[in-house]
Structure 1
Amino acid sequence: MTDSADSPSDASDRPNLVLVHCHDLGQHLGCYGADVDTPNIDGLAADGARLANSFCTAPQCSPSRSSMVTGTYPHENGVMGLAHMGWALGDDRETLPKRLKAAGDETALLGFQHEVPDEPERLGYDHVDSGTKRALELVDVVDDFFAERADADDPFFVSIGIEEPHRPFRREYLPDETYDAYDPDEVPLDDFAYLPDAPGVREDVADLRSVISEVLDPAVGRYRESLADAGLAEETVFVFTTDHGLAIPRAKGTCYDPGIETALVVRQPGAVEGGEVHESLVTNADFTPTMLDLLGIDPPTDLSGESFAPLLRGEPHEGRDRIFAEMTWHDRYNPIRAIRTERYKYVRNFSVLPKVFVPMDVAPTASGREVHEEFHVPQRPAEELYDLEADPHESENLASDKKPFEPAAEASDPDPAHADALDRLRDELEAWMESTDDPLLDGPVPYPDVE
């Protein structure tokens, strides 16, 4: 693997990197146009750059996070399912903390990670404090960490992993008044037009928004305050992001936009102009090379991810015209591959599961049951094509309704107005799978050989 990094003697000239990442948020923030109160994260976006079309490589935790820290797709790095269910990055896999540690940075993890099931030091962290992953409980941990490094000579990288807004949205450790912010009967559902207007959906949306505005957002604001109080804010790249889309039906566990869209906000004083909104397509496989580039370290050239640091710095940047997403294993085998351009989404389903896959943490909820009843059909089509300009909620499949393993003679024809796009995207997806040695091309992917 091609590496390029500053020597430790050069490290003192580089900024620090603070990465704050949460669960299951998608882009449900005020600065992304959602009807939710998030003044602290909105303020970070005003001070930095917001990536409007940021997507993840997989609509589930471990595979997506593996891409973020390696710059490779899940089927390339081997994390095609959840870390606590047998999938994990190998010890020989290069990660962002390993690369920064080799370049002379101190590396630390505070809170949560999900790329390996245990011993997160294997990912390249010098210091690990995983005593809590709750956003507000981490405030004191983060405060102590920054205070201890106020006068340090060498730069540091700290990954702050927080649990909220993972399900269940209602938590015993949170005060009851946390959930008074939004009334289920009054909460608008404009951001959830792909879900039915049903009581369970309304309760979920109200609780989701409450935990975002009353827990997640204030905690991020406190982390920024701690960094500033330690005198480190102006010499630090501060990033906020999430792993994948919202933990609601037809989002998490699917390759529809609500499952793969991610918030991504980057602040770097003196380099990234505040208030910028970038519309270019980016994927979280680009995260590691981009962070290295922002820190002045030449990123490796043999990764699937590409640096979009020039875009953030206002320099010429060609950018992507497409991104890819995938799913293989979650709580069941559910192989999907997808390609998204600015206009189209093409999804290839390799299994015979129902149309709406509801992950195990969503299925027991009222909204999960209601959506399953409303959208359930006997079998998903083998291919899905959506015109995102005309149909942003991906409700009208323009491809054939042919089911996997069904004779083509029994299926409808694709919409002729979009047949060329279907052929092109089908070919591009297959070419990507071949170029990245996707094991799905050889048949079903077995569960890992673990106890």
Structure 2
Amino acid sequence: MAQSQPRPNIVLVHCHDLGTYLGCYGAAVDTPRIDAFAADGVRFDRHFVTAPQCSPSRSSLMTGRHPHQNGMLGLAHAGWEIDEDEQLLPELLGAAGYETHLFGLQHITEYPDRLGYDRIHSENSLTADGPPSVHESARAREVAADFADALAAGGLGEPFFASVGFFEVHRMEETDGFGFADDRYETPSPDDVDPLEFLPDDPGIRSDIAEIQGMVEALDDGVGTVLDALEDAGLTDETLVVFTTEHGLAMPRAKGTCFDPGIEAAFAVRYPAGFDGERVEDALVSNVDVFATLLEIADAPAPEKEIAGESFASLLREDGTYEPRDRIFAGMTWHDRYNPVRAIRTDRWKYIRNFWNLPDVYLTNDIYRSDAGREVRDEFYDEQRSHEELYDLEDDPLERENLLAEDVPDDSEIADVHDRLRTELGDWMASTGDPLLDEPVLPEEVDDAHPWAEDGRH
């Protein structure tokens, strides 16, 4: 067991829409720098997020609370904001003596000054996600270079927390829809990529996979630049580095859905002076747990509000006190349309409750208007989704057979599992004050006149 250092530097590297599409997670893509980093540290094989969409999922990472608890029920550029009285990770780390820095994107507010960072770098990449043009300076290679330059100049403080946000692997609007490629990325031939197991092997899907691979190469380069900068500064051993993303690939049956490809996300952490690496953990964890974990490792104060996350710092330290989760919760409310869904996942079972009438498989606008979306949208929009879904993840890991699609005998195992998970989901919604239990969350409840906008902080 490595000796513990109580106050490491913390670097949180995060990207868009990646899911687990990395070589170290078994994907057929070259990601040598991320793979080596994950091999040196601790890679989590069952890390899930609270929402299969950007701003709500990121809000859980920053507050340790679910989106319906912290107010982020939709996207930051669509009028949604974290509640004014929430305490965010940079603020609490700052209270513990950390100098805090933001590089690149964040996408949880249109008013980045309220995030609590001591210094915001790359100013023009900090507006909410919206059109791709706002991320022209949030590409992985450029943001990583900014971090490396600042670190080399000695301007980050001691200890420091740096959030390093990359645009990749987000779709970009094009003349005929949404794709991934531009002249910054080298894209392989669609004939040379492997299909995704949860989608058919169709030309439009292959084309999008090829473009994703071009972006992933740039992402891997950016991560490598960050790691090299820490090594050059002699800070590798005393720095805790996290690499993660906020939800699954921007592909059908992934982003925007509570199927595993939508809510499962890469998560790897390395801290040579603090805990042993070179291992893979299969504990069920949620990104709502990361907040509590980092606060514990940094010896930072807890927020005033009760959090939903559970620290897994003891799991990283392997001290034998970690009590593993037996379930995680996820959901979404608003994206580019009203799509209220809540889900509970255990080791074996997934139960999804749909609160609105929508197509069988919801496609976010960027996926609907993509090559991949055009291949499947007639099929996915042909039927209305069931209000309840139950999947046996052992027998049906791709979540193809909804066990509630037909009548279930009252005395069957399926009926027992259904009753138990439906009750557990309802109890969780009640205990966390989920507004969906009372009534639909209508668009007029989104108030554009946020209180923090009144004092001119933009």
Q: TM-score, normalised by structure 2?
A: 0.89
- Preserved CA contact (<8 Å) 1:121 1:127: no
- Preserved CA contact (<8 Å) 2:42 2:269: yes
5+ residue gaps, structure 2: 125-136, 173-178, 450-458
| Residue matched to 1:450 | 448
Equivalent residue letter for 1:344: W
| Residue matched to 1:324 | 329
CA deviations 1:383-425 (Å, max 9, x no partner) are 0000000000000000145xxxxxxxxxx33694411111100
CA deviations 1:66-118 (Å, max 9, x no partner) are 00000000000000000000111133210110000111111110000111113
Structure 2 SS opposite 1:390? coil
Structure 2 SS opposite 1:174? coil
Q: 1:434 to 1:185 in 2, by over 3 A?
A: same
Q: CA separation in 2, counterparts of 1:414 and 1:87? A: 43
- Preserved CA contact (<8 Å) 1:400 1:414: no
Equivalent residue letter for 1:449: D
Structure 1 SS opposite 2:257? coil
| Residue matched to 1:59 | 52
Equivalent residue letter for 2:7: R
Q: CA separation in 2, counterparts of 1:353 and 1:431? A: 25
Match of 1:124 among 99, 116, 119: 116
Q: CA separation in 1, counterparts of 2:351 and 2:162? A: 37
Q: CA separation in 1, counterparts of 2:40 and 2:351? A: 35
Q: CA separation in 2, counterparts of 1:328 and 1:313? A: 36
How does 1:105-254 map onto structure 2 within 5 Å?
Answer: 105-118=98-111, 120-130=112-122, 131=124, 132-149=137-154, 152=157, 154-168=158-172, 169-175=179-185, 178-180=186-188, 183-189=189-195, 192-212=196-216, 214-254=217-257
Match of 2:312 among 285, 308, 315: 308
| Residue matched to 2:377 | 372
Equivalent residue letter for 1:187: V
Q: 1:13 to 1:347 in 2, by over 3 A?
A: closer
Over aligned residues, Cα RMSD in angstroms? Answer: 1.7
Equivalent residue letter for 2:192: E
Shift of 1:150: 7.3
Q: Which moved more, 1:439-448 or 1:372-381?
A: 372-381
Q: Determine whether 1:98 maps to 2:91.
A: yes
Q: CA separation in 2, counterparts of 1:414 and 1:39? A: 50
| Residue matched to 2:129 | none
- Preserved CA contact (<8 Å) 1:70 1:95: yes
CA deviations 1:143-199 (Å, max 9, x no partner) are 1121133794x3110000100011135343515xx113xx3123222xx22211111
Structure 1 SS opposite 2:228? helix
Q: CA separation in 2, counterparts of 1:376 and 1:14? A: 51
Structure 2 SS opposite 1:239? strand
Match of 1:440 among 436, 441, 447: 436
Shift of 1:232: 1.5
CA deviations 1:280-332 (Å, max 9, x no partner) are 11011101100112223364582110100111111221110000001100000
Q: Determine whether 1:277 maps to 2:300.
A: no
Q: 1:85 to 1:151 in 2, by over 3 A?
A: closer
- Preserved CA contact (<8 Å) 1:71 1:286: yes
Q: CA separation in 1, counterparts of 2:417 and 2:193? A: 38
Shift of 1:13: 6.2
- Preserved CA contact (<8 Å) 1:26 1:262: yes
Q: CA separation in 2, counterparts of 1:386 and 1:240? A: 30
- Using the aligned pairs only, state the percent identity: 53
Q: Determine whether 1:23 maps to 2:24.
A: no
